[in-house]
Structure 1
Protein backbone atom coordinates (compact mmCIF):
# COMPACT_ATOMS: atom_id res chain seq x y z
CA UNK A 1 0.00 0.00 0.00
CA UNK A 2 1.06 3.57 -0.64
CA UNK A 3 2.49 5.30 2.43
CA UNK A 4 2.30 9.09 2.71
CA UNK A 5 4.67 10.81 5.12
CA UNK A 6 2.83 14.01 5.96
CA UNK A 7 4.25 16.98 7.83
CA UNK A 8 1.54 18.96 9.58
CA UNK A 9 0.73 22.34 8.08
CA UNK A 10 2.77 21.80 4.95
CA UNK A 11 2.43 21.31 1.24
CA UNK A 12 2.20 17.57 1.78
CA UNK A 13 -1.54 18.19 2.27
CA UNK A 14 -1.62 18.17 -1.54
CA UNK A 15 -0.85 14.47 -1.61
CA UNK A 16 -3.55 13.51 0.87
CA UNK A 17 -6.04 15.58 -1.07
CA UNK A 18 -5.06 14.03 -4.40
CA UNK A 19 -5.47 10.52 -2.99
CA UNK A 20 -8.86 11.40 -1.55
CA UNK A 21 -10.00 12.82 -4.90
CA UNK A 22 -8.80 9.76 -6.81
CA UNK A 23 -9.83 7.17 -4.23
CA UNK A 24 -6.27 5.87 -3.86
CA UNK A 25 -5.88 3.89 -0.62
CA UNK A 26 -2.95 4.94 1.55
CA UNK A 27 -1.36 4.65 4.94
CA UNK A 28 -0.82 8.00 6.63
CA UNK A 29 2.17 8.75 8.82
CA UNK A 30 2.00 12.16 10.43
CA UNK A 31 4.88 14.29 11.68
CA UNK A 32 4.82 17.47 13.72
CA UNK A 33 7.03 20.51 13.29
CA UNK A 34 9.65 21.24 15.92
CA UNK A 35 7.98 23.80 18.24
CA UNK A 36 11.18 25.87 18.52
CA UNK A 37 12.37 25.93 14.90
CA UNK A 38 9.02 25.29 13.15
CA UNK A 39 10.99 22.92 10.91
CA UNK A 40 10.39 19.27 10.10
CA UNK A 41 11.55 16.72 12.69
CA UNK A 42 14.81 14.81 12.07
CA UNK A 43 12.95 11.55 11.41
CA UNK A 44 12.12 12.77 7.92
CA UNK A 45 15.84 12.84 7.08
CA UNK A 46 15.82 9.08 7.41
CA UNK A 47 13.53 9.03 4.38
CA UNK A 48 15.07 11.79 2.24
CA UNK A 49 18.29 13.82 2.61
CA UNK A 50 16.44 17.15 2.61
CA UNK A 51 14.35 16.06 5.58
CA UNK A 52 11.20 17.63 4.21
CA UNK A 53 7.71 16.47 3.33
CA UNK A 54 5.94 15.15 1.40
CA UNK A 55 7.60 11.81 0.89
CA UNK A 56 5.79 8.74 -0.36
CA UNK A 57 6.73 5.07 -0.41
CA UNK A 58 5.13 2.88 -3.03
CA UNK A 59 6.23 -0.68 -3.80
CA UNK A 60 9.89 0.06 -3.16
CA UNK A 61 9.81 3.55 -4.68
CA UNK A 62 10.64 6.46 -2.36
CA UNK A 63 9.71 9.79 -3.90
CA UNK A 64 9.81 13.41 -2.69
CA UNK A 65 8.76 16.74 -4.28
CA UNK A 66 5.02 17.33 -4.26
CA UNK A 67 4.67 18.02 -7.99
CA UNK A 68 6.61 14.87 -8.88
CA UNK A 69 4.49 12.85 -6.46
CA UNK A 70 1.26 14.26 -7.92
CA UNK A 71 2.32 13.35 -11.46
CA UNK A 72 3.51 9.91 -10.35
CA UNK A 73 0.29 9.06 -8.52
CA UNK A 74 -1.94 10.24 -11.36
CA UNK A 75 0.01 8.14 -13.85
CA UNK A 76 0.57 5.09 -11.64
CA UNK A 77 -2.67 4.87 -9.67
CA UNK A 78 -5.08 7.48 -11.01
CA UNK A 79 -5.65 6.34 -14.56
CA UNK A 80 -4.66 9.78 -15.82
CA UNK A 81 -7.57 11.47 -14.07
CA UNK A 82 -7.26 15.15 -13.04
CA UNK A 83 -4.61 15.65 -15.73
CA UNK A 84 -5.91 16.61 -19.21
CA UNK A 85 -4.04 14.93 -22.05
CA UNK A 86 -2.40 16.70 -25.02
CA UNK A 87 -5.57 16.37 -27.08
CA UNK A 88 -7.65 18.24 -24.49
CA UNK A 89 -8.39 21.92 -25.30
CA UNK A 90 -7.33 22.93 -21.78
CA UNK A 91 -4.00 21.06 -21.90
CA UNK A 92 -1.79 24.16 -22.23
CA UNK A 93 -3.67 26.01 -19.50
CA UNK A 94 -3.41 22.99 -17.24
CA UNK A 95 0.35 22.78 -17.73
CA UNK A 96 0.79 26.48 -17.10
CA UNK A 97 -1.15 26.60 -13.84
CA UNK A 98 0.17 23.25 -12.60
CA UNK A 99 3.73 24.55 -12.85
CA UNK A 100 2.80 28.11 -11.83
CA UNK A 101 2.03 26.80 -8.33
CA UNK A 102 5.64 25.93 -7.48
CA UNK A 103 7.26 28.12 -10.11
CA UNK A 104 5.74 31.47 -9.13
CA UNK A 105 3.03 31.42 -6.48
CA UNK A 106 4.66 29.48 -3.66
CA UNK A 107 8.20 30.89 -4.20
CA UNK A 108 7.10 34.52 -4.06
CA UNK A 109 5.13 33.93 -0.86
CA UNK A 110 8.20 32.25 0.58
CA UNK A 111 10.47 35.11 -0.48
CA UNK A 112 8.20 37.63 1.16
CA UNK A 113 8.25 35.59 4.36
CA UNK A 114 12.07 35.45 4.38
CA UNK A 115 12.51 39.12 3.55
CA UNK A 116 9.99 40.06 6.23
CA UNK A 117 11.99 38.23 8.86
CA UNK A 118 15.01 40.41 8.09
CA UNK A 119 12.97 43.46 9.08
CA UNK A 120 13.82 45.71 6.15
CA UNK A 121 10.61 47.70 6.36
CA UNK A 122 7.99 48.35 3.65
CA UNK A 123 9.96 51.19 2.03
CA UNK A 124 13.14 49.20 1.51
CA UNK A 125 13.61 48.51 -2.24
CA UNK A 126 14.07 44.76 -1.73
CA UNK A 127 10.93 44.47 0.41
CA UNK A 128 9.00 46.62 -2.07
CA UNK A 129 10.21 44.55 -5.03
CA UNK A 130 9.17 41.24 -3.47
CA UNK A 131 5.81 42.66 -2.38
CA UNK A 132 5.28 44.02 -5.89
CA UNK A 133 5.98 40.63 -7.38
CA UNK A 134 3.46 39.00 -5.04
CA UNK A 135 0.87 41.62 -5.93
CA UNK A 136 1.33 40.86 -9.64
CA UNK A 137 1.13 37.12 -9.08
CA UNK A 138 -2.04 37.46 -7.01
CA UNK A 139 -3.57 39.78 -9.60
CA UNK A 140 -2.89 37.20 -12.29
CA UNK A 141 -4.58 34.44 -10.28
CA UNK A 142 -7.50 36.75 -9.51
CA UNK A 143 -7.95 37.63 -13.18
CA UNK A 144 -7.87 33.98 -14.17
CA UNK A 145 -10.44 32.92 -11.58
CA UNK A 146 -12.74 35.81 -12.47
CA UNK A 147 -13.34 34.08 -15.80
CA UNK A 148 -13.25 30.35 -14.99
CA UNK A 149 -14.35 28.06 -12.18
CA UNK A 150 -11.04 26.20 -11.94
CA UNK A 151 -7.52 27.15 -12.88
CA UNK A 152 -7.37 24.96 -15.99
CA UNK A 153 -10.86 26.03 -17.08
CA UNK A 154 -14.19 24.35 -16.52
CA UNK A 155 -12.81 21.17 -14.91
CA UNK A 156 -11.19 20.66 -11.54
CA UNK A 157 -7.66 19.32 -12.06
CA UNK A 158 -4.38 18.68 -10.27
CA UNK A 159 -3.46 22.30 -11.04
CA UNK A 160 -5.95 23.28 -8.34
CA UNK A 161 -4.53 20.73 -5.91
CA UNK A 162 -1.06 22.17 -6.48
CA UNK A 163 -2.15 25.79 -6.01
CA UNK A 164 -4.47 25.88 -3.01
CA UNK A 165 -1.82 25.35 -0.30
CA UNK A 166 -0.15 28.68 -1.12
CA UNK A 167 -3.48 30.48 -0.88
CA UNK A 168 -4.51 28.83 2.39
CA UNK A 169 -2.22 26.98 4.79
CA UNK A 170 0.90 28.89 3.77
CA UNK A 171 -0.77 32.05 5.10
CA UNK A 172 -0.08 30.68 8.58
CA UNK A 173 3.56 31.54 7.91
CA UNK A 174 3.08 34.61 5.69
CA UNK A 175 -0.26 36.39 6.10
CA UNK A 176 -1.87 37.60 2.88
CA UNK A 177 -4.96 39.78 2.88
CA UNK A 178 -7.46 38.23 0.47
CA UNK A 179 -9.93 41.10 0.76
CA UNK A 180 -8.88 42.60 -2.60
CA UNK A 181 -9.39 39.27 -4.38
CA UNK A 182 -13.09 38.31 -4.54
CA UNK A 183 -12.59 35.72 -7.28
CA UNK A 184 -9.92 33.95 -5.24
CA UNK A 185 -12.18 33.97 -2.18
CA UNK A 186 -15.04 32.49 -4.22
CA UNK A 187 -12.67 29.87 -5.59
CA UNK A 188 -11.58 28.87 -2.09
CA UNK A 189 -15.21 28.52 -1.07
CA UNK A 190 -15.67 26.09 -3.97
CA UNK A 191 -12.61 24.19 -2.79
CA UNK A 192 -14.08 23.99 0.70
CA UNK A 193 -17.21 22.36 -0.69
CA UNK A 194 -15.24 19.41 -2.06
CA UNK A 195 -15.66 16.37 0.22
CA UNK A 196 -12.20 15.06 -0.71
CA UNK A 197 -10.56 18.30 0.41
CA UNK A 198 -12.42 18.25 3.71
CA UNK A 199 -11.46 14.62 4.32
CA UNK A 200 -7.81 15.26 3.51
CA UNK A 201 -7.53 18.26 5.82
CA UNK A 202 -9.33 16.45 8.64
CA UNK A 203 -6.97 13.49 8.40
CA UNK A 204 -3.75 15.40 7.89
CA UNK A 205 -4.32 18.43 10.11
CA UNK A 206 -7.28 17.71 12.39
CA UNK A 207 -6.46 20.65 14.63
CA UNK A 208 -6.42 23.18 11.76
CA UNK A 209 -9.44 24.99 10.40
CA UNK A 210 -8.76 25.32 6.64
CA UNK A 211 -8.02 28.95 5.78
CA UNK A 212 -10.58 29.34 3.05
CA UNK A 213 -11.34 33.03 3.56
Structure 2
Protein backbone atom coordinates (compact mmCIF):
# COMPACT_ATOMS: atom_id res chain seq x y z
CA UNK A 1 0.00 0.00 0.00
CA UNK A 2 1.04 3.58 -0.63
CA UNK A 3 2.34 5.17 2.58
CA UNK A 4 2.39 8.94 3.02
CA UNK A 5 4.72 10.23 5.72
CA UNK A 6 3.40 13.62 6.79
CA UNK A 7 5.45 16.01 8.92
CA UNK A 8 2.96 18.23 10.72
CA UNK A 9 2.77 21.82 9.47
CA UNK A 10 4.77 21.15 6.32
CA UNK A 11 4.37 20.85 2.58
CA UNK A 12 3.71 17.12 2.86
CA UNK A 13 0.07 18.07 3.47
CA UNK A 14 -0.07 18.44 -0.32
CA UNK A 15 0.29 14.70 -0.71
CA UNK A 16 -2.53 13.96 1.72
CA UNK A 17 -4.80 16.37 -0.19
CA UNK A 18 -3.82 14.79 -3.51
CA UNK A 19 -4.64 11.30 -2.26
CA UNK A 20 -8.03 12.49 -1.05
CA UNK A 21 -8.82 14.26 -4.34
CA UNK A 22 -8.01 11.03 -6.17
CA UNK A 23 -9.99 8.91 -3.72
CA UNK A 24 -7.03 6.63 -2.99
CA UNK A 25 -6.50 4.08 -0.26
CA UNK A 26 -3.28 4.99 1.54
CA UNK A 27 -1.58 4.66 4.89
CA UNK A 28 -1.01 8.04 6.55
CA UNK A 29 1.69 8.37 9.19
CA UNK A 30 1.94 11.60 11.16
CA UNK A 31 5.11 13.04 12.68
CA UNK A 32 5.22 15.95 15.11
CA UNK A 33 7.94 18.57 14.89
CA UNK A 34 10.56 18.69 17.64
CA UNK A 35 9.78 20.95 20.56
CA UNK A 36 13.30 22.43 20.78
CA UNK A 37 13.82 23.64 17.21
CA UNK A 38 10.56 22.91 15.33
CA UNK A 39 12.46 20.74 12.85
CA UNK A 40 11.63 17.21 11.73
CA UNK A 41 12.24 14.46 14.29
CA UNK A 42 15.05 11.99 13.74
CA UNK A 43 12.75 9.17 12.63
CA UNK A 44 11.38 11.38 9.86
CA UNK A 45 14.84 12.49 8.75
CA UNK A 46 15.86 8.86 8.50
CA UNK A 47 13.25 8.17 5.82
CA UNK A 48 15.14 9.90 2.98
CA UNK A 49 18.73 11.12 2.47
CA UNK A 50 17.54 14.75 2.32
CA UNK A 51 15.79 14.39 5.67
CA UNK A 52 12.93 16.70 4.68
CA UNK A 53 9.22 16.45 3.89
CA UNK A 54 7.45 15.07 1.96
CA UNK A 55 8.29 11.38 1.67
CA UNK A 56 6.22 8.47 0.40
CA UNK A 57 6.81 4.75 0.28
CA UNK A 58 5.28 2.50 -2.36
CA UNK A 59 6.39 -1.11 -1.96
CA UNK A 60 10.20 -0.90 -2.30
CA UNK A 61 10.21 2.71 -3.51
CA UNK A 62 11.05 5.64 -1.23
CA UNK A 63 10.42 8.97 -2.96
CA UNK A 64 10.87 12.56 -1.86
CA UNK A 65 10.21 15.98 -3.47
CA UNK A 66 6.66 17.37 -3.71
CA UNK A 67 6.47 17.73 -7.47
CA UNK A 68 7.91 14.29 -8.16
CA UNK A 69 5.55 12.68 -5.65
CA UNK A 70 2.52 14.47 -7.09
CA UNK A 71 3.34 13.36 -10.61
CA UNK A 72 4.15 9.82 -9.50
CA UNK A 73 0.87 9.35 -7.63
CA UNK A 74 -1.26 11.10 -10.25
CA UNK A 75 0.20 9.07 -13.10
CA UNK A 76 0.37 5.71 -11.37
CA UNK A 77 -2.85 5.81 -9.38
CA UNK A 78 -4.94 8.68 -10.71
CA UNK A 79 -5.02 8.17 -14.46
CA UNK A 80 -3.23 11.52 -14.74
CA UNK A 81 -6.63 13.19 -14.53
CA UNK A 82 -5.30 16.21 -12.59
CA UNK A 83 -2.94 17.18 -15.41
CA UNK A 84 -4.35 18.70 -18.61
CA UNK A 85 -2.95 17.18 -21.80
CA UNK A 86 -0.96 19.08 -24.45
CA UNK A 87 -4.09 19.72 -26.52
CA UNK A 88 -5.90 21.33 -23.59
CA UNK A 89 -6.04 25.13 -23.51
CA UNK A 90 -4.89 25.00 -19.86
CA UNK A 91 -1.81 22.85 -20.53
CA UNK A 92 0.84 25.60 -20.44
CA UNK A 93 -0.74 27.46 -17.54
CA UNK A 94 -0.94 24.30 -15.47
CA UNK A 95 2.72 23.53 -16.17
CA UNK A 96 3.82 27.04 -15.24
CA UNK A 97 2.07 27.10 -11.88
CA UNK A 98 2.97 23.51 -11.05
CA UNK A 99 6.67 24.33 -11.41
CA UNK A 100 6.48 27.95 -10.21
CA UNK A 101 5.13 26.80 -6.87
CA UNK A 102 8.39 25.40 -5.49
CA UNK A 103 10.94 26.66 -7.99
CA UNK A 104 10.10 30.33 -7.45
CA UNK A 105 7.21 31.06 -5.07
CA UNK A 106 8.39 28.89 -2.19
CA UNK A 107 12.02 29.79 -2.87
CA UNK A 108 11.10 33.44 -2.38
CA UNK A 109 9.59 32.61 0.99
CA UNK A 110 12.56 30.51 2.04
CA UNK A 111 14.98 33.32 1.18
CA UNK A 112 12.92 35.69 3.33
CA UNK A 113 12.84 33.18 6.18
CA UNK A 114 16.60 32.63 5.94
CA UNK A 115 17.25 36.38 6.04
CA UNK A 116 15.05 36.78 9.11
CA UNK A 117 16.69 33.80 10.82
CA UNK A 118 20.07 35.44 10.21
CA UNK A 119 18.89 38.51 12.09
CA UNK A 120 17.96 40.83 9.22
CA UNK A 121 15.62 43.60 10.35
CA UNK A 122 14.74 44.33 6.73
CA UNK A 123 14.64 41.93 3.83
CA UNK A 124 17.24 42.42 1.09
CA UNK A 125 15.62 44.46 -1.68
CA UNK A 126 15.76 41.69 -4.25
CA UNK A 127 14.16 39.21 -1.84
CA UNK A 128 11.32 41.60 -0.98
CA UNK A 129 10.81 42.40 -4.66
CA UNK A 130 10.70 38.76 -5.75
CA UNK A 131 8.31 37.88 -2.96
CA UNK A 132 5.95 40.74 -3.76
CA UNK A 133 5.96 39.87 -7.46
CA UNK A 134 5.09 36.26 -6.69
CA UNK A 135 2.02 37.21 -4.68
CA UNK A 136 0.95 39.76 -7.28
CA UNK A 137 1.30 37.18 -10.04
CA UNK A 138 -0.82 34.68 -8.10
CA UNK A 139 -3.47 37.34 -7.49
CA UNK A 140 -3.56 38.19 -11.20
CA UNK A 141 -3.83 34.52 -12.20
CA UNK A 142 -6.86 34.02 -10.00
CA UNK A 143 -8.52 37.09 -11.50
CA UNK A 144 -8.61 35.30 -14.85
CA UNK A 145 -9.03 31.65 -13.85
CA UNK A 146 -10.88 29.90 -11.01
CA UNK A 147 -7.86 27.67 -10.38
CA UNK A 148 -4.12 27.97 -10.88
CA UNK A 149 -4.43 25.04 -13.28
CA UNK A 150 -7.08 26.88 -15.31
CA UNK A 151 -10.72 25.85 -15.61
CA UNK A 152 -10.36 22.92 -13.24
CA UNK A 153 -8.32 21.96 -10.22
CA UNK A 154 -5.00 20.39 -11.22
CA UNK A 155 -1.72 19.40 -9.61
CA UNK A 156 -0.77 23.08 -9.86
CA UNK A 157 -3.39 23.84 -7.21
CA UNK A 158 -2.24 20.96 -5.02
CA UNK A 159 1.23 22.51 -5.12
CA UNK A 160 0.25 26.16 -4.69
CA UNK A 161 -2.31 25.57 -1.95
CA UNK A 162 0.22 24.99 0.81
CA UNK A 163 2.12 28.16 -0.10
CA UNK A 164 -0.99 30.27 0.41
CA UNK A 165 -2.25 28.56 3.56
CA UNK A 166 -0.20 26.59 6.09
CA UNK A 167 3.08 28.07 4.87
CA UNK A 168 1.98 31.41 6.31
CA UNK A 169 2.48 29.94 9.78
CA UNK A 170 6.17 30.70 9.15
CA UNK A 171 5.46 34.27 8.04
CA UNK A 172 4.07 35.67 4.83
CA UNK A 173 1.73 38.11 3.21
CA UNK A 174 -1.63 39.09 4.67
CA UNK A 175 -4.55 38.22 2.41
CA UNK A 176 -6.15 41.62 3.04
CA UNK A 177 -4.81 43.04 -0.22
CA UNK A 178 -5.33 39.85 -2.25
CA UNK A 179 -9.09 39.41 -2.68
CA UNK A 180 -8.78 36.91 -5.51
CA UNK A 181 -6.49 34.67 -3.48
CA UNK A 182 -8.83 34.99 -0.49
CA UNK A 183 -11.83 33.99 -2.62
CA UNK A 184 -9.87 31.10 -4.13
CA UNK A 185 -8.98 29.75 -0.69
CA UNK A 186 -12.63 29.82 0.31
CA UNK A 187 -13.43 27.70 -2.77
CA UNK A 188 -10.63 25.31 -1.90
CA UNK A 189 -11.85 25.11 1.69
CA UNK A 190 -15.29 24.01 0.49
CA UNK A 191 -13.88 20.96 -1.30
CA UNK A 192 -14.73 17.77 0.64
CA UNK A 193 -11.34 16.25 -0.27
CA UNK A 194 -9.49 19.25 1.16
CA UNK A 195 -11.56 19.21 4.32
CA UNK A 196 -10.90 15.50 4.84
CA UNK A 197 -7.20 15.87 4.07
CA UNK A 198 -6.66 18.69 6.53
CA UNK A 199 -8.64 16.92 9.26
CA UNK A 200 -6.34 13.92 8.84
CA UNK A 201 -3.07 15.82 8.32
CA UNK A 202 -3.56 18.55 10.92
CA UNK A 203 -6.04 17.31 13.52
CA UNK A 204 -7.10 20.07 15.84
CA UNK A 205 -5.76 22.87 13.61
CA UNK A 206 -8.10 25.02 11.56
CA UNK A 207 -6.91 25.40 7.95
CA UNK A 208 -5.38 28.83 7.30
CA UNK A 209 -7.86 29.94 4.66
CA UNK A 210 -8.13 33.60 5.64
Q: TM-score range by the shorter chain?
A: over 0.9
SS at match of 2:177: coil
**CA root-mean-square deviation:** 1.1
The residue aligned with 2:138 is 141
TM-score by length of 1: 0.95
Superposed CA deviations along residues 49-77 of structure 1, whole A, max 9, x for unmatched, are 12112111112111111110000001100
CA distance in 2, matches of 1:175, 1:76: 34
Is 2:110 aligned against 1:113? Answer: no
Partner of 2:12: 12
Match for residue 187 of structure 1?
184
Deviations along 1:27-67, whole A, 9 cap, x unmatched? 01110111111110010232211211211111211111111
Instruction: Kindly tell me the number of residue pairs found equivalent between the two proteins.
Output: 210
Matches within 5 A, 1:123-202: 127-202=124-199
Greater CA drift, 194-203 or 172-181: 172-181
Give every structure 1 segment of 4 or more consecutive aligned residues whose post-TM-superposition deviation is greater than 4 Å: none
In structure 1, how many angstroms separate the alpha carbons of the residues matched to 2:67 and 2:173?
23
Q: Which runs of 5+ in 1 are unaligned?
A: none
Aligned-partner SS, 1:28: strand
Deviations 1:104-138 (A, max 9, x none): 1111011111112223223xxx5232112111111
8 Å Cα contact 2:149-2:155 kept in structure 1: no
